[in-house]
Amino acid sequence: MIKVGVVGGTGYTGVELLRLLVQHPEVELHAITSRGEAGMAVADMFPSLRGHVALEFSDPTKSTLDKCDLVFFATPNGIAMQQAPALLNQGIKVIDLAADFRLQDVAVWEKWYGMPHASPEWLEQAVYGLPEVNREQIRNSKLVANPGCYPTATQLGFLPLIESGCVNVSSLIADVKSGVSGAGRKAETHILFAEAADNFKAYGVNGHRHLPEIRQGLSRAARGNVELTFVPHLTPMIRGIHATLYAQITKETDFQALFEQRYADEPFVDVLPAKSHPETRTVRASNLCRIAIHRPQNGNTLVILSVIDNLVKGAAGQAVQNMNLMFGFDECTGLSHVPVLP
């Protein structure tokens, strides 16, 4: 049994993380912090947790996070890089669900996130928490940078092709859609019901913060530079990521078998039969990524379809998966939920 703290438990990612942690047999929730909601019972803000979480939100400056074995940061970008080093220096392990430690190049991070990095010395020590790539490094890590939702769906869809060297890595395209919960639990005009419902739009076409993260991961797999056009879209649904990925074939192989073999031992990646069309609702509230491979008209372009729940495999579920690896638990503990339908 480990003691776990959550910094920033009031957002959608935070409450999803709490939902998973209270069902985990090896976890004791010790502290849940919120500067703005300190003193409020967690179950008063999130009635879904009534009977499961008896804690109140605590002020992060007065909390007992130093008594924890692991602390999750479910905070906006820029918080963990300021607060995590003090915990790490005390031997407490940290998983950051924001972007503070995802990019190893500090100049690239500062360009895309528009602020100085408060603890660049930790960037090289952080392990990027995509278990399907870095499982062994995660097991031995003190600091895990949990991947973003768009990067998770996109990288898992492209990785088998890039690792095998059978596609042109200078012309990759990722056309990716997200539900509105990906924008966070805050009041902004573009995610109001009257704005987002019955609507569909692209955004960040000239540059999205997840682009350098995806490029970094794919470039490592390719052992060289990767050029990617990444276009995110906002869709009128609450949960879900649907990535439609395009790659030009440079070497013939059995692409279906390639994906099946690459993910044969991965508990949370499901390669569907050829010509399938995965839907976001088939992974809702689960830690699964479902993938299908297409080759339209038997041409030179492969189309990969990859779907995840942005709050689970794209955030909180992957964070719990990383926690399991860091503490030697079975990787699937607390994550074997059947997707919710409808």
Active site (catalytic) residues: 149
SS3 142: coil
Helix (H, G, I), strand (E, B) or coil at 8: coil
The neighbour count for residue 191, using CB atoms within 10 Å, is: 16
Give the C-alpha distances (Å, rounded to integers) separating 77 from 81, 101, 141.
8, 10, 21
Q: How far apart are CA 21 and CA 55, in angstroms?
A: 13
Q: Which of 120, 137, 119 is nearest to 128 (CA)?
A: 137
Q: Report, in this order, helix, strand and coil percent for the chain, each rounded to 5.
A: 35, 20, 45
Tokens 């041409």 belong to residue: 299
How far apart (Å, rounded) are the C-alpha atoms in residues 3 and 260?
37
